[in-house]
Chains A and B, each alone.
Chain A
Amino acid sequence: AFERFDPDLMLVGASCTAELIQDAPGGLARALNLPVPTITLELPSYQKKENWGASETFYQIVRGLATEAPAPKLEGAKPSCNILGATALGFRHRDDVIEITRLLNQLGIEVNVAAPMGATADDIRRLPQADFNVVLYPEIADTAARWLERQYGQKAVRTIPMGFQATCEFVREAAALAGVDPEPVLSQHGSHMPWWARSVDSNYLTGKRVFVFGDATHAMAAARVAKEELGFEVVGLGCYNREFARDVRACAAELGVEALITDDYLLVEETIAALQPELVLGTQMERHIAKRLGVPCAVISAPVHVQDFPARYAPVMGFEGANVLFDTWVHPLVMGLEEHLLTMFREDFEFNDAAGPSHLGGHAKVEAAAKPAPEPEIAPVAAQIATQETISVLNWSPEATKELSKIPFFVRGKAKRNTERYAAEQGLETISIEALYDAKSHFAR
Chain B
Amino acid sequence: MSDAVTLISPTSEARPVLRERGQREVFCGLTGIVWLHRKIQDAFFLVVGSRTCAHLIQSAAGVMVFAEPRFATAIMEERDLAGLVDANEELDRVVDRLLSRRPDIKLLFLVGSCPSEVIKLDLSRAAERLTKKHSPSVRVLNYSGSGIETTFTQGEDACLVAMIPEAPVASEDAPASLLVVGTLPDIVEDQFARLFNQLGIGPVAFFPPRNSQSIPAIGPNTKFLLAQPFLGETARALIERGAQHLPALFPFGAEGTTHWLKAAADAFAIPELHFLAVVAPGRERAKRALEAQKQHLAGKSIFFFPDSQMEPSLARFLSRELDMKLIEVGTPYLNRQLLSAEMEYLPETVTLSEGQDVDRQLDRCRAAKPDLVVCGMGLANPLEMEGISTKWSIELVFSPVHGFDCAGDLAGLFARPLYRRSVLKV
Set B185, B395, B408, B426: member contacting A197, Cβ < 8 A? B426
Q: How far is the CB of A72 from chain B (nearest CB, A)?
A: 42
Q: How far is the CB of B309 from chain A (nearest CB, A)?
A: 19
Q: Measured between alpha carbons, how far is A206 from B395 in the docked complex, in Å? A: 14
Does B292 belong to the interface (CB within 8 Å)?
Answer: yes
Set B63, B381, B398: member contacting A200, Cβ < 8 A? B381
Cβ-closest chain A residue relative to B420: A206
Cβ-closest chain B residue relative to A224: B425
Cβ-defined contact, A228 with B426, below 8 A: yes
Chain A residues whose CB sits within 8 angstroms of the CB of B66 once the complex forms:
358-359, 361
Which of A94-102, A137-145, A213-221, A430-438 contacts its partner?
A: A430-438
Chain A interface mostly helix, strand, loop or mixed?
helix
Q: Measured between alpha carbons, how far is A29 from B37 in the docked complex, in Å? A: 77
Cβ-defined contact, A193 with B63, below 8 A: no
Q: Measured between alpha carbons, how far is A62 from B38 in the docked complex, in Å? A: 65
Cβ-defined contact, B425 with A229, below 8 A: yes
Does B172 belong to the interface (CB within 8 Å)?
Answer: no
Which chain A residues (182-230) contact chain B, with CB distance < 8 Å? Answer: 193-195, 197-203, 206-207, 227-229
Which of B127-135, B142-150, B283-291 contacts its partner?
A: B283-291
Cβ-closest chain A residue relative to B68: A350
Does A348 belong to the interface (CB within 8 Å)?
Answer: yes
Q: Measured between alpha carbons, how far is A338 from B63 in the docked complex, in Å? A: 7
Contact with B along A419-438 (1 / 0, CB 8 A): 00000000000000110011
Q: Measured between alpha carbons, how far is A165 from B425 in the docked complex, in Å? A: 8
Which of A110-118, A120-128, A243-251, A339-347 contacts its partner?
A: A339-347
Contact with B along A10-53 (1 / 0, CB 8 A): 00000000000000000000000000000000000000000000
Cβ-defined contact, A200 with B185, below 8 A: no
Q: How far is the CB of B152 from chain A (nearest CB, A)?
A: 15
Does A364 belong to the interface (CB within 8 Å)?
Answer: yes
Which chain B residues (359-415) contact chain A, with CB distance < 8 Å? Answer: 377, 380-381, 384-385, 390, 392, 395, 398-400, 404-405, 408, 412
Does A231 belong to the interface (CB within 8 Å)?
Answer: yes
Which chain A residues (282-327) contact chain B, with CB distance < 8 Å? Answer: none
For A194, A359, A445, which residue has the most chain B Cβ atoms within 10 angstroms? A445
Cβ-closest chain A residue relative to B405: A437
Chain B residues whose CB sits within 8 angstroms of the CB of A361 once the complex forms:
66
Q: How far is the CB of A323 from chain B (nearest CB, A)?
A: 12
Which chain B residues (229-248) contact chain A, with CB distance < 8 Å? Answer: none
Cβ-defined contact, A347 with B408, below 8 A: no
Chain B interface mostly helix, strand, loop or mixed?
helix
Chain A residues whose CB sits within 8 angstroms of the CB of B416 once the complex forms:
203, 206-207
Cβ-defined contact, B194 with A433, below 8 A: yes
Chain B residues whose CB sits within 8 angstroms of the CB of A336 once the complex forms:
62
Q: How far is the CB of A445 from chain B (nearest CB, A)?
A: 4
Set A201, A337, A343, A444: member contacting B408, Cβ < 8 A? A444
- Given A194-B426, A206-B420, residue A359 in contact with residue B63 (CB < 8 A): yes
Chain A residues whose CB sits within 8 angstroms of the CB of B424 once the complex forms:
197-198, 228-229, 231
Cβ-closest chain A residue relative to B422: A231
Cβ-defined contact, B400 with A343, below 8 A: yes
Does A58 belong to the interface (CB within 8 Å)?
Answer: no
Cβ-defined contact, B419 with A206, below 8 A: yes
Cβ-defined contact, B38 with A364, below 8 A: no
Q: Measured between alpha carbons, how far is A59 from B187 in the docked complex, in Å? A: 61
Chain B residues whose CB sits within 8 angstroms of the CB of A200 once the complex forms:
377, 380-381, 384, 390, 392, 417
Cβ-defined contact, B426 with A164, below 8 A: yes
Chain B residues whose CB sits within 8 angstroms of the CB of A338 once the complex forms:
62-64
Does B281 belong to the interface (CB within 8 Å)?
Answer: yes
Does A403 belong to the interface (CB within 8 Å)?
Answer: yes
- Given A194-B426, A198-B424, A406-B190, residue A345 in contact with residue B39 (CB < 8 A): yes
Chain A residues whose CB sits within 8 angstroms of the CB of B210 once the complex forms:
347
Cβ-closest chain B residue relative to A364: B67
Cβ-defined contact, A437 with B423, below 8 A: no
Q: How many residues of A contact B (CB 8 A)?
A: 51
Cβ-defined contact, A345 with B186, below 8 A: yes
Does B301 belong to the interface (CB within 8 Å)?
Answer: no
Q: Measured between alpha carbons, how far is A406 from B185 in the docked complex, in Å? A: 10
Cβ-closest chain B residue relative to A348: B38
Cβ-closest chain A residue relative to B381: A199
Chain B residues whose CB sits within 8 angstroms of the CB of A337 once the complex forms:
61-64, 398
Does B340 belong to the interface (CB within 8 Å)?
Answer: no
Does A384 belong to the interface (CB within 8 Å)?
Answer: no
- Given A351-B64, A406-B190, residue A165 in contact with residue B426 (CB < 8 A): yes
Cβ-closest chain A residue relative to B65: A358
Which chain A residues (343-395) contact chain B, with CB distance < 8 Å? Answer: 343-351, 355, 357-359, 361, 364
Q: How many residues of B contact A (CB 8 A)?
A: 49
Chain B residues whose CB sits within 8 angstroms of the CB of A195 once the complex forms:
385
Cβ-defined contact, A444 with B288, below 8 A: yes
Q: Measured between alpha carbons, how far is A203 from B420 in the docked complex, in Å? A: 7
Does B35 belong to the interface (CB within 8 Å)?
Answer: yes
Does B41 belong to the interface (CB within 8 Å)?
Answer: yes
Q: Measured between alpha carbons, how far is A358 from B190 in the docked complex, in Å? A: 27
Q: Measured between alpha carbons, how far is A340 from B420 in the docked complex, in Å? A: 19
- Given A341-B398, A348-B41, A406-B190, residue A441 in contact with residue B288 (CB < 8 A): yes
Q: How far is the CB of B33 from chain A (nearest CB, A)?
A: 12
For A228, A338, A348, which residue has the most chain B Cβ atoms within 10 angstroms? A348
Q: Measured between alpha carbons, how far is A308 from B68 in the docked complex, in Å? A: 32
Cβ-closest chain A residue relative to B291: A445
Cβ-closest chain A residue relative to B415: A206
Does B228 belong to the interface (CB within 8 Å)?
Answer: no
Chain A residues whose CB sits within 8 angstroms of the CB of B38 once the complex forms:
341, 344-345, 348, 351
Does B293 belong to the interface (CB within 8 Å)?
Answer: yes
Cβ-defined contact, A346 with B426, below 8 A: no
Q: How far is the CB of B59 from chain A (nearest CB, A)?
A: 10
Q: Measured between alpha carbons, how far is A83 from B66 in the docked complex, in Å? A: 45
Q: How far is the CB of A427 from chain B (nearest CB, A)?
A: 18
Cβ-defined contact, A445 with B285, below 8 A: no
Does A103 belong to the interface (CB within 8 Å)?
Answer: no
Q: Measured between alpha carbons, how far is A199 from B420 in the docked complex, in Å? A: 11
Which chain B residues (47-83) contact chain A, with CB distance < 8 Å? Answer: 61-64, 66-68
Chain B residues whose CB sits within 8 angstroms of the CB of A433 once the complex forms:
194
Set A165, A203, A350: member contacting B392, Cβ < 8 A? A203
Set B194, B291, B399, B405: member contacting A344, Cβ < 8 A? B399
Set A347, A437, A438: member contacting B41, Cβ < 8 A? A347
Does A54 belong to the interface (CB within 8 Å)?
Answer: no
- Given A165-B426, A338-B62, A364-B67, residue A231 in contact with residue B420 (CB < 8 A): yes
Set A340, A357, A437, A445: member contacting B398, Cβ < 8 A? A340
Set A229, A434, A444: member contacting B293, Cβ < 8 A? A444
A-B complex: 8 closest residue pairs judged by Cβ atoms: A344-B185, A445-B292, A340-B398, A194-B426, A441-B285, A444-B289, A441-B289, A337-B62
- The 28 sampled A-B contact pairs (Cβ below 8 Å) are A194-B426, A198-B384, A198-B424, A200-B392, A203-B416, A203-B417, A206-B416, A206-B419, A207-B419, A228-B425, A335-B63, A337-B62, A340-B398, A341-B35, A341-B64, A343-B187, A344-B38, A345-B38, A345-B186, A346-B187, A347-B186, A361-B66, A403-B190, A406-B190, A440-B405, A441-B289, A444-B408, A444-B412
